[in-house]
Amino acid sequence: MNKTLIGTFVALAIVAGPALAQTAPPAAPAVDAAVDAKFKAADKNNNGSLDGAEVDPYKANLAKIDTDKDGKISRAEFAAATKSGVIK
């Protein structure tokens, strides 16, 4: 390997180094503190989704809220419904 080639590799390493270091973990979804507090209050058994009796207050709008139709309200479904005004 000649010196020019080695120099090229060193230069590439210097350029690529910071770029590789910037491979940050994906940003966490923005959490609305107010929505989060409401969800936590509704999720009485704190298992991360509204199921069973926890769903009762939202039964009237469940078809709109429970978008994956599993009978439970996930944190994401709750946030989306709150955003669209279905959950007030």
**What does the binding site for Ca ion look like in residue numbers (CB under 5 A)?**
43, 45, 47, 54, 66, 68, 70, 72, 77
| 23 vs 46 by CB, closer to Ca ion | 46
Output the smallest distance, CB 50 to Ca ion, in A: 5
Beta carbons of 61 and 84 less than 8 angstroms apart:
no
- Sign of the torsion angle spanned by Cα atoms 50, 51, 54, 56: positive
Output the smallest distance, CB 68 to Ca ion, in A: 4
Place of tokens 């210097």: 14
Instruction: Tell me the Cα Rg of the chain.
Output: 24
Output the smallest distance, CB 59 to Ca ion, in A: 13
